[in-house]
Each structure stands twice: as C-alpha cells, then as structure tokens.
Amino acid sequence: MISLTSLVHDLRAKRITPVEHVEDVLERLAGDRCNAVIELDADRALRRAAELTAAPEPVGPLHGVAVGIKDLIDVAGLPTRCGSAILRDAPPAGVDAPVVARLRAAGAVIVGKLHTHEFAYGPIGDTAATGPAHNPHDLTRITGGSSSGSAAAVAAGHLALAIGTDTGASVRTPAALCGVVGFKPRRGVLPGEGVFPLAESFDTVGLLAADAASVSYAWDAVRGRAPGGWRPAGTGLHGLRVGLPDDPYWTAADPVLADAAGAAARDLERAGAEIVAVSTPDVAELAATYPVIAGAEAYATHREWFTTRRDEYQQATGQRLAEQADAPAHRYVDAQRTRRRLGDRMIAHVGATADLLLTPTTRLRATPIGVSEVDGLGVRPAMLGLTSPFNVTDRPAVSVPVPVPGLPAGVQLAGITVGEDAVLAAAAAVGTS
C-alpha cells in the first residue's frame, strides 16, 4: 500500500513528481482486478499533474496526490451513477461536490470514480450495475461496502487516499475487510452537498488511507488546517480512557476479531491509555432504530424511480426498497425518538467511564461473494451492527487494521467524550506492536 504521509514526503523532496505519481496510479487503476474503478479521468488528471509538477511551490498539503472518489459524490465533468443502472444515462455533474473542491484546492489530483454498493444501500459491495467489487486479499471475497471501490483501491496499493461515504458502516466496514484505515467524522463536519443521499439522518463523508497517520494528514487537509502530519504513537494518550464494552451485543462471531480488539487494547495501553470495561445500556434497541430510519429515508428518495422503474435496480436493492414501501410513519417517528433518548443516555453513561469505545469493526471478516449467511448469522447485519450505533449517536469513528494471520481484521475506535482529532490520535497507536 502507499502511505500518504510517505508519498507527500517523496513529492515534497521531488523524489517523485506529480506526473510520475499520477501516471503510475492511472496505470495501476487501469489494470485493477478488484472491479474497484468506475471511470478514470485520465486526461484531466495528467494535465493537472503537469501543472502541479511545473508549479514553483506546493499549492497545498495534498500537492500532486492522486485521489479516487466514490461514485456517489459529484466530480465536475463525470456522471455520478451511484452504482446503478437507474443512473446509467446521468449527465456529467456540473460542479464538484464541496469536499472534492476542497481536495483540489489542497493540491489533490482527482483520478476518477470508484465502485459503490448500489446507491450506498448496503455494507457488502457486491451489488452494483457494474458487478461486485473484489477484495484484493482474496478476489473471491467481498470488499464490504458501500465504499467498496475506495477501500479496495487503497488496499490494492493503487491509491494513497480515497473518499467514501458512511451512513451506517460504509467507510469503516470496507476499510476493515480490506485492511485499510477508514474514518467517518460527525455529521456536517465535512460538507455533504453534492453527495447522493442515502439517509439524511446519518450520511457522512469519510476518508480511507493505508494507515492512521495518513488519514490524520488528509483530515487536516480537507479541514483546511495546517497538517499535524504523523502523530507518533506512544505519546499523547495518557489520561485517555478507552472502554471495552461488555455487552454481548458487541461480540464478534469470528474469534480472530475479538483477539484483534484485545491486541488493539494492549497497543493503546502501551501508548498510555487506560483500558476500562464499560456497559452500553440498551445498545441493541438503539441500533435497531438504524434500519427503520435509514430505510424510510432511502425509500422516500427512491420511491418515484422504484414505482416506475423497479426492474432497473439490482434485485437485492429492489427487495430492500420493497420492504420499506408500507412502513408506517409512526414507526419512523418512534425510532427517531428512541434514537435520541437512548443515544443521549448511552453516550452519557459510557462517557462517565470512558472517552472512547474500542470494538471490532465487524462481526465477520470478508465473506465469499454470494454468501448471505454464515452459521446462521446474516452477513449484512454482521457488517453493519457494530458500526451503525455511532451513526445513530453521531460520534466520530475509525476502523484500523490489526495484524492477524489470513484475511484482514479491523477494530473500531469511536469517540464518546472526544472528537475527531482524539479518535485519530488513538487510532495511530493501534497495530504498532
């Protein structure tokens, strides 16, 4: 994989030029075997790389860095197809989404659009008009979704930085399954305009990169702040209380994932954090509000198309939308009330003991494409259940890979009393042993 911080270092030192880097990235993406790429913007990317190569000074912290964009987010001049045949004839977007414009202003070179689970409505990455995305660690397995192409392209070493979206899992789960770092901030911290909505109560834009320091660097860049650069592990976590939730809700089905969380806890402790056990009252009831709210909001967006062009959706998406057609309003209203009530209560309860929660990111590692259940556990809930509580409560959260034999394993750090910066600082300590 390409570490963004190393790449920036090399670009600054002119050990590599933007043209060389972007040419290399375009070549890799053109030869991608993961079905991660929807469309390349090669000519424009090369022109921009040439401008940046000729620039006397860096234009910003991402000067010359090739970045890939999930095909749910507008890039001027390219259609936003959202992985769906419904939008096969979408016209090119007129303007960049603000988050894309920020990347360009920071010197990034947008190289193209990446695979998404159809309309981001699923944590698997197997459902799209262009076929399933393939996990670079085992091409027969899922990437996780919905930011499937973003995770796969970083994991395959094509790109140092990719942009995704996260409504219930969609940055963190593919990051976990592909062995990269995926970070979602709180809602509204990054602008959501120009992003096709899934569920407005939860939608966020997030970042995927090879390691936590790289995500931190990109986070500073898209926030328009001076880069903090590498935040070294082993310092700065003193006084931070990291909670290991004891509710069986958080148990992973794959024992390797439980071990990974234990290893991450030891890494964090070595870096100065205090590890505490915490209870997470009513988390199952809280998490159960997610599909009710997200389903109603997604259906409201798609109803017109769904009722007139259902056969153009992938079958799995059509089935999920059909389940929402008769959902009653009072159930949605109740779910929003329950979410606020139990969410506030859980955050207050956990926050009395812990500043962050540490959990596995998923209950299973990457499953074979086409398998919907493992030992009676649905793959979809397994890939969503541990991440969605932090969309429901709108907390910043990151998935970080922990070295294990075989397929990648990700652990999740979610900020309870702390915000994005502290979550990323803690993430940098994970996997360091």
**Interface with a copy of itself by CB under 8 A: which residues?**
200, 296-297, 299-300, 303, 324-334, 337
The smaller minimum CB distance to a copy of itself, of residues 164 and 291, is found at: 291
Q: Which of 367, 347, 28, 34 is nearest to 173 (CA)?
A: 367
Helix axis angle, 329-351 to 289-309, nearest 10°: 150
Query: Which 3 state secondary structure label does DSSP give 401?
Result: strand
Name the active-site residue from 147, 150, 170, 216.
Answer: 170
Evaluated on CA atoms 266, 124, 424, 407, the torsion sign reads positive
Phi/psi at 245 (5° precision): -70, 135
Nearer to a copy of itself, 33 or 303 (CB): 303
**What minimum distance in Å lies between the beta carbon of 79 and a copy of itself?**
24
- In terms of CB distance, is 196 or 299 closer to a copy of itself? 299
Contact between 88 and 71 under an 8 Å Cβ cutoff? The reply is no
Q: How many Cβ atoms sit within 10 Å of the Cβ of residue 88?
A: 10
Between 226 and 329, name the residue whose CB sits nearer to a copy of itself. 329
The DSSP bridge pattern shows strands 409-415 and 356-360 to be antiparallel
Minimum Å gap between C-beta 433 and a copy of itself is: 46
Alpha carbons 8 and 13: distance in angstroms, whole number: 8
Closest by CA position to 233, among listed 269, 179, 262, 275 = 269
Catalytic pick among 84, 113, 146, 388: 146
Nearer residue to a copy of itself within complex by CB, 343 or 431: 343
CB-wise, 201 or 359, nearer to a copy of itself? Answer: 201
146 is catalytic: yes
Any residues with CB less than 8 A from the CB of 361 and at least 6 apart, and which?
172, 173, 175, 176, 257, 386, 387, 399, 410, 411, 412
Smallest distance, Å, CB 167 to a copy of itself? Answer: 15
* CB of 94 vs a copy of itself, minimal distance in Å: 19
The residue annotated as part of the active site, out of 70, 150, 184, 201, is 70
Rounded-to-integer distance, Cα 79 and Cα 267, Å: 43
Please provide residue 70's backbone torsions phi and psi, each rounded to the nearest 5 degrees.
-55, 140
Q: Taking the complex as a whole, how short is the minimal distance between the CB of residue 49 and a copy of itself, in angstroms?
A: 39
Minimum distance from residue 82 beta carbon to a copy of itself (Å): 18
Q: How far is the CB of 332 from a copy of itself (least distance, A)?
A: 4
Task: Give Cα separations from 285 to 288, 331, 359 (angstroms).
Answer: 5, 14, 18
Sequential DSSP letters for 218-253:
HHHHHTT--------TTSS-TT-EEEEE-SGGG--S
- Residue (56 or 328) nearer to a copy of itself, CB: 328
* Active-site annotation holds for 170: yes
CA distance 413 to 410: 10
Residue in 356, 331, 364 with CA at minimum distance from that of residue 274: 356
Catalytic annotation present for 70: yes
Which residues form the catalytic set? Answer: 70, 146, 170
